[in-house]
Structure 1
Amino acid sequence: MGPGSNNSFPVEKRVAVVTGGNRGIGLEICKQLAANGVAVVLTARDEEKGAGAAAALHRLGLPEVLFHQLDVAEPSSAACLADFIRHKFGKLDILVNNAGNLGATFDFGNLDLDKEIEDKSAHETLEWLMQHTVETTENAEECLRINYHGTKNVIQALLHLLQSSPDGRIVTVSSVFGQLSFFSGEQLKEELNDADKLSEERLDELAELFVRDFKDGELESRGWPTRRDAFVAYKASKALQHAYTRVLARKHASSPLRVNCVHPGYVKTDLTLGTGELTVEEGAAGPVAVDRNPSCNEKL
């Protein structure tokens, strides 16, 4: 979809971009925002799937959902999206960073997933899944490239448009797995928790250091989540995401821009293989509520 004209666009209507919007929580966030009267740009890496998702929302009576292709891991793709937003709308009010990567695959051998989890609680199911994960260096690299660097790419490309809004919002769909309690080293935890001293440059260094430590088998000695546990790269990427959110919020503390992370809960999506305790409607409600609640603000 190419740039259009913003001459007929009502300036009072809010505009949102949702990354990873073609399925799961992202698609439901697009749906709920559009139902609230927001013009939504649904983005996805796969053009066919993204266009199909937007068309499905049109059939539900939500015509103000547009699709634009976006690969969050590519700065040039984010820049192309920014050009489209600027020409089509002239502003941006909401950015929801939903695109994510688990950093692991599952290996169940000859086991039947449905049979194995049919009598398990949500917590027991998650524990069982964690016992059957496979995490390679390639998984870790892709996870950091999408969850941390990809989120940064999109924010940096769209930041000037968000700053033009009188009530700009950045909402990153995150996870409790990003809590620093999963880290084994006190020094690393203290550094990641000190938003006053942290910088974007240092977080980039830490992201590179994590991948190197993963390759070299130095996760435990450095104080990262260890490979004895599951979703190591996911935990590290989400912790870095949280730290970047706090750094960004403090950097723009004097502006109207609000910056937040939101844990949607353990939601039944493709990412969780359809397991979980919440529906996508329930999972999307949190990120959407942060946009609508003026008291939500990470600017401590």
Structure 2
Amino acid sequence: MARVAVVTGGNRGIGLEICRQLASKGVTVVLTARDEKKGADAVKTLGAHGLSNVVFHQLEVGDLSSAARLADFIREQYGKLDILVNNAGVVGATTEIRDPESFRKELANMDSMEKLDWIRKHTTETYSKAEECMRTNYHGTKIVTEVLLPLLQFSSHGRVVYISSYFGLLRFFNGKQLKEQLNNIDNLSEERLDELSELFLKDLKNGQLEPHGWPTEGPAYKVSKALTNAYSRIIAKKHPTLCVNCVHPGYVSTDINFHTGDLTVEEGARGALILAMVPKGGMTGAYLDVTEVASFV
């Protein structure tokens, strides 16, 4: 029976490219997206390129009932799940860019860090956006993983891939205690991660990020990715028969950065594909920086 994969946020960018590459390797792909029309259109696009082994299923990442409907669909259609790629995510901020074309010209001669710094200076971060970021990137990803774990355990070789970010590394945290806590997987629990998520939002609301050791620039995105990284390591430890890993795809040219990235989506999908196809008994609890194993710190 063909391998079955779920890719969240699969209707565009890196997610769509991961769907394309998995399908081209003979994997049956369930492409998920929040927007039904965009998801169905993405499947049609792949079908027009000869990939008939991609199907669409609607998924609202932060909604337990939506994730449960997806699980029911996979159980009924395939009876198992071999690969889960958690790709869906938001940046947790509003960027004040009205004309992307002139914006791209302005940034043309900058390096990656200069571009990101320029974008940050033209970005507004509100509490409501931070809440949405935590709800989607951390809690939503966690919901999808937990609901699909039983189906991954029906596979003879289940793999879970988290599309992470360089900005989720613990070096961006200011507090030594927080860093140590998030890196001490033997003593870290899912309950504690949930508590830290709530503490972060409380400290953001009260203007206490710096004194309590949180990142202060782009904090919601960084914290959401760091918590997800830690969660992936807990899941890897708890389920040793699965291969559970994270990957930073690099600075990829996608809608999220107004196509200012240095890598193509094909290049950005490489690490995710390595982890999605990792052999049985292969690495788990690891983090790839593009395609190289690196530290979570």
Indicate the TM-score class for this superposition, using the shorter chain for normalisation.
over 0.9
Q: CA deviation at 1:164?
A: 0.8
- Distance, in Å, in 2 between the alignment partners of 1:109 and 1:101 is 19
1:69 aligns with 2:58: yes
Q: Which runs of 4+ in 1 moved over 3 A?
A: 108-112
Structure 1 residue matching 2:50: 3-state secondary structure = coil
1:22 aligns with 2:7: no
1:165 aligns with 2:150: no
1:272 alignment counterpart: 257
* 1:107-164 Cα deviation digits (max 9, x unpaired): 2589941332122223321221122111000110000000000100100110000011
Q: Given the two structures, how large is their TM-score scaled by the length of structure 2? A: 0.93
- Distance, in Å, in 2 between the alignment partners of 1:79 and 1:110 is 40
1:234 alignment counterpart: 221
1:4 alignment counterpart: none
1:116 aligns with 2:103: no
Structure 2 residue matching 1:250: 3-state secondary structure = helix
Structure 2 residue matching 1:271: 3-state secondary structure = helix
* 1:237-274 Cα deviation digits (max 9, x unpaired): 00000100111111112xx2110001100000011111
1:292 aligns with 2:281: no
Structure 2 residue matching 1:196: 3-state secondary structure = helix
Decide which of 154, 166, 186 is 1:176's aligned counterpart.
166
Structure 1 residue matching 2:155: 3-state secondary structure = coil
Larger deviation, residues 42-51 vs 123-132: 123-132
* 1:68-92 Cα deviation digits (max 9, x unpaired): 0000010100000000000000110
- Aligned pairs, number: 284
Q: Given the two structures, how large is their TM-score scaled by the length of structure 1? A: 0.92
1:249 alignment counterpart: 236
2:291 alignment counterpart: none
- Distance, in Å, in 1 between the alignment partners of 2:208 and 2:162 is 29
Residues 109, 43 of structure 1: alpha-carbon distance in 2 compared, 3 angstrom cutoff: closer
Segments of structure 1 that go 5 or more residues without pairing to the other structure are 1-10
Cα pair 2:246 2:286 within 8 Å, conserved: no
Superposition pairs of residues 1-300 of structure 1, within 5 angstroms: 11=1, 13-108=2-97, 112-226=102-216, 229=217, 231-253=218-240, 256-294=241-279, 295-298=282-285
Q: Which amino acid aligns with 2:186?
A: D
Cα pair 1:250 1:299 within 8 Å, conserved: no
- Distance, in Å, in 2 between the alignment partners of 1:299 and 1:263 is 11
Structure 2 residue matching 1:172: 3-state secondary structure = strand
Cα pair 1:170 1:260 within 8 Å, conserved: yes
Q: Which amino acid aligns with 1:286?
A: G
Cα pair 1:16 1:93 within 8 Å, conserved: yes
Structure 2 residue matching 1:40: 3-state secondary structure = strand
Segments of structure 2 that go 5 or more residues without pairing to the other structure are 288-297
Cα pair 2:104 2:260 within 8 Å, conserved: no
- Distance, in Å, in 1 between the alignment partners of 2:269 and 2:142 is 21
Structure 2 residue matching 1:221: 3-state secondary structure = coil
- Distance, in Å, in 1 between the alignment partners of 2:265 and 2:136 is 21
Q: What do you get for the CA RMSD once the two structures are aligned?
A: 1.5
Larger deviation, residues 278-287 vs 123-132: 123-132
Q: Which amino acid aligns with 2:231?
A: Y
Q: CA deviation at 1:298?
A: 1.4
- Distance, in Å, in 1 between the alignment partners of 2:55 and 2:155 is 20
